[in-house]
Structure 1
Amino acid sequence: MHKLTIHPSGLLKEENPLFNTAVLMAATLVVYLVSSLLQEPGHLALFWPQNALMVGVVLRFPFLNRPRYYFSCLFSVLLCNIAIGHNNIGALLIILSNVAFICILTNAILYERKLPTDPLKINVLRLYSYCLITALISSLLGSYGYNLVSGKPYETIYPVWFSEQFSTSVLILPFVLTWTGSLLPKSFNFRQTMPAVVLALSLTASSQSGGIGSLAVTLPALIWCAISYSLPVTCLLTQLTGITEVLMVDAHWMYSSFEGHVTQIVSARMGIASIAISPVIVAVSVQAINTLVKQLSARANYDFLTRVHSRFGLYEKLRIQNEKAGNTALNVLLLDIDHFKTINDTHGHDCGDSVLTEFARRVKEVVGEEGIVARMGGEEFAVVMPNACGDNGYRLAEEIRAEIEQMEVQWGSDTLSLTVSIGLSHGQAARRQLVDAFDKLLSEADRYLYQSKRAGRNRTCSAASIMEKYLEPSAI
């Protein structure tokens, strides 16, 4: 099962404990007041996001997981309760229950990290289990506190309290833990909105049809969102959908008298939490698959040793450009390191690998943005220059040859010098014929490379029309 990665935030610094305490206390007060606004007087909280939000804050800043910071949260809420007149033992037990929820769930999730320096990763189903267990434990104390305050039966309060804590944490935490500050895609088109539109229509249908089973109407649309959007966007849409459904359930049953509808309320909330975790699992899996595809693509497209394009990667890049390009001029340079076999035989293959790596680095530096560098195999490399005349190709070939001629590679006590032979071909590629034109020019460049080798190496050979204008005496 793929895991959800929690990246720590850098907004707070561990070396500023006083500032951290002040920020944490202020955040606790704001979240507490917002949560209180969602609670109808005389009723259990329909939706109490404070605990899950504070868990998310501590997980994003793991150094806050210390007793002094938990006491600062407790102190903030105590002051707020005293200010509004909630200064009885029941209110204190409710506050302790909330702090216990934050502490237990935070430490359960942090236990997943093997080393303090490692990024925190957690299986989504395990996160679901931790939320469930934490809600079961902390609700024991909170329900008793509410029992003292309201006088309502404990056995009625507990399941409702537990289901609220559990469902709220499952809805809120995935987004809080994955959000990195950006939700908008780099490019946008109307078709990208379709999953969200279908989700909105499904949610509307769910609200109109009624019944616990109608809550699952949104699941197909949420799965579509998980496949189409990024993980944070999926978590946000799932959160908003789940919160809307929770409030619909509570509005339907709670105000009439929750004592007669405990089973329906708990069942609905548990169902919403279970539905909400499904698209998150899909989104995490899709993200992992996309990452794996990119890694495999990078391994296929780039030569592991020299970090330039592989032969396959060069063809893939040309294929992509082929979809966009019209008629274009094309230069193909084929490079072969002179006497490379002697280097391998004399100094070993490790030395040969070092020479290839340094050679590729120098060629990339000379080519820059003018072309694409690829390793075709062994000590043979290619440089492809789209949209350039043959004169520019010959100039670049000579710049590469001159750079390699001055190149020295230190191997132990030996200093190795290199030269390179180059074959250059030039032609025109018709629209959507870039790959075919490259194949023909590569074959032609190979013939010119053979001429360079036969003529004594360390030179560039090309068509006479190009060489006559740019041929230097040093290359004769």
Structure 2
Amino acid sequence: MKLHLNGLTPPSTHQSYSFAIIAVVIFVFCLVGIFSRPLTYLAIFWPANAVLLALFLRFPQLSNTGGWLGAFTGYMLADLLTGNFLQLTTILTFANLINTAVSLFFIRYFHINYLNYNKGFTFLTMFAIFAVGGCLAGATFAIFTVPYVSNTFMSTDRLWIDFGMWWVTEIVNCLIMLPLILAFPQLKELKQIIHNRRHRDYHFNEILPVMSVGLCVILTAVSPGPGAILYPLAALIWAALTYQLFTLTIINAVVILATYYNLNHFYLADSTNAYLSTAISVRIGLAMLILAPIILCIISRNRHELYKEVLYLANHDSLTHAMNRRFFFEQGELYLKNRTETTFSIIMLDIDHFKKLNDQYGHYVGDVVLQQFANTIRKNLREEDLFARIGGEEFVILLRNIQADEAQKIAERIRNIVETTPIQIDQDNELYITVSIGITHETLPDAPSLQFLINQADQALYQAKQLGRNQVILANC
């Protein structure tokens, strides 16, 4: 999801864009909330405040005077056009804006970056600010103003019930809408997701969690009651451990809204008193039901990312980011065992006079040389080729499905690029290096061991060193 307000656009145009976008969005989501009001009371679902906060967080360029005026206009128009009175509409609008303004203030005050919503405690912190700050401020303003105007739906006789209803409803709305908008992929990511899903095979077990969630929602409609709030819990936990966060937020929103709807109609069918006495506890229960799978999904994704980082560090050289010796042999032997093509090449590379370079310039310069050398090699390889650092200044490449003359051309190109490309030590200094290369090429269906082939390439490398360095030698296979 991207929104561009070009920096060359005049400020007045920025304000106009912000006003128009926010006014339309808030108007639409207010109508959704208004049509969910039971008993001429508070809306069952009022997403506008959480949507406004999410938009201001995700698109800070909208959070200007035009954006706030657009929000005010959207709130006012939606209520007035659906028959509300001006005085009450104005107070409700200010209560909604206070909700968002207080939340936004504290999020910015504590320098919370929404991009880290799925890292550590960021989402919980944002939720706590919205629940304890924004929702509390909005609810407090509402109970001290709304009951005292004409044609109100709130009563001075039940201030604390009204306060609790407003507060917990906003918390539920926040948990439904905020993660959904913040987790929505960028346009580039969305295209990549769609492309990947079109070009992959799906397994039945991948859709089992969402199917189980659907069955639980149906069960909630068929057999509503106090226990219905827990029907989807196990299925949502399963979904949280299976899907990405954005997918989970969609599932979460559908489940909670369906459960919310069924439970409200169950209590409304009973009596008005039953609805009012249980509405707060039902909504708190729904908030917990939403929060649990989101937190579990974030923890699961973070653990998965951490595992990938640890695995990468275990399999790669920390300085050059090439494969380490163990991982190269593991992947190389696996390739030899399962390969379908019959030809491949092993290339051994050794930076000339590297020890002398280290002694003359120091280990820092030596590290820079190794890093830039590895980057040069990577740029000249295909994605399927294997590349590893197996010693101090020694590197090895496995070229898959390639002829001997092609492998020799690649090696010669690498040698030439290394020789002619300066290595930038700092802003004022650069140096040049050369590399000696040995190649072995295999054409037999049953190739010898990887270590045997590397030894052959290493012997060719030794010949290149003996013959004066900075050259490519093909082993006699």
Structure 2 vs 1, CA of residues 276 and 458 (structure 1 numbering), >3 Å: closer, same or farther? Answer: same
The reply on whether 1:150 has 2:191 as its aligned counterpart is no
- 1:56 to 1:159, Cα distance in 2 relative to 1, 3 A: same
460 and 165 in structure 1: CA distance in 2 versus 1, 3 angstrom threshold: closer
Give a deviation string over 1:360-411, Cα, whole Å, max 9, x none: 3443444456843322221111121111233333333334344444455576
**CA–CA distance in structure 1, aligned partners of residues 72 and 420 of structure 2:** 70
SS of alignment partner, residue 3 of structure 2 = coil
Percent pairwise identity: 25
Residue 456 of structure 1 deviates from its aligned partner by 4.1
Match of 1:203 in 2: 217
Which of 98, 101, 112 is the equivalent residue of 2:99?
101
Match of residue 446 from structure 1: 458
Q: Which moved more, 1:25-34 or 1:408-417?
A: 408-417
Contact 2:180 2:246 in 1 (8 A): yes
2:230 to 216, 225, 245: 216
Give the C-alpha shift of residue 462 in structure 1. 3.5
Kindly state the Cα deviation for residue 342 of structure 1 after the two structures are TM-superposed: 1.5
Task: State the distance in 1 between where 2:376 and 2:432 align.
Answer: 13
Q: Structure with the greater relative contact order (CA < 8 A, sep ≥ 6): 1 or 2?
A: 1
Distance of aligned partners of 1:352 and 1:364 in 2 relative to their CA distance in 1, 3 Å threshold = same
Deviations 1:195-230 (A, max 9, x none): 101111122233334332331121111111111111
1:162 aligns with 2:160: no
Superposition pairs of residues 29-68 of structure 1, within 5 angstroms: 29-40=27-38, 42-66=40-64
CA RMSD of aligned residues (A): 3.3
- Indicate whether 1:314 and 2:314 are aligned: no
Indicate if the aligned counterparts of 2:224 and 2:262 stay in contact, CA closer than 8 A: no
Counterparts of residues 5-84 of structure 1 (less than 5 Å): 9-12=2-5, 15=11, 16-40=14-38, 42-66=40-64, 69-84=67-82
State the 1:24 CA deviation. 1.4
| 3-state SS, counterpart of residue 150 of structure 1 | coil
Native 8 Å contact 2:80 2:89 kept in 1: no
1:91 to 89, 92, 101: 89
Contact 2:315 2:326 in 1 (8 A): yes
TM-score by length of 2: 0.83
Q: 1:126 to 1:342 in 2, by over 3 A?
A: closer
| Letter matched to residue 442 of structure 1 | I
1:457 corresponds to which of 442, 445, 469: 469
1:258 to partner: Cα distance? 3.2
Residue in structure 2 matched with residue 129 of structure 1 by the alignment: 128
How many angstroms apart in 2 are the aligned matches of 1:421 and 1:151? 84
C-alpha spacing 1:255/1:366, structure 2 compared with 1 (3 Å): closer
CA distance in 2, matches of 1:52, 1:414: 55
- Does structure 1 conserve the Cα–Cα contact (< 8 Å) formed by 2:390 and 2:396? yes
Distance 1:446 1:39 in 2: 78
Aligned match for 1:392, one of 406, 410, 424: 406
* Alignment match, 2:176: 171
> 1:227·1:286 contact (CA, 8 Å) conserved in 2?
yes
Query: Map of 1:233-382 to 2, 5 A cutoff?
Result: 233-254=247-268, 256-315=270-329, 317-318=331-332, 321=335, 325-367=339-381, 371-382=385-396
The Cα of 1:427 is off from its aligned counterpart by 2.0
What is the TM-score normalised by the length of structure 1?
0.83
Write the letter of the residue equivalent to 1:154. Answer: R
Give the secondary structure class of the aligned counterpart of 1:452.
Answer: helix
2:390 counterpart SS class: strand
Q: Which amino acid aligns with 1:422?
A: I
Ranges in structure 1 where 5+ consecutive residues have no aligned partner: 1-7, 466-476
User: Aligned partners of 1:429 and 1:276: how far apart in 2?
Assistant: 59
Secondary structure in 1 aligned to 2:40? coil
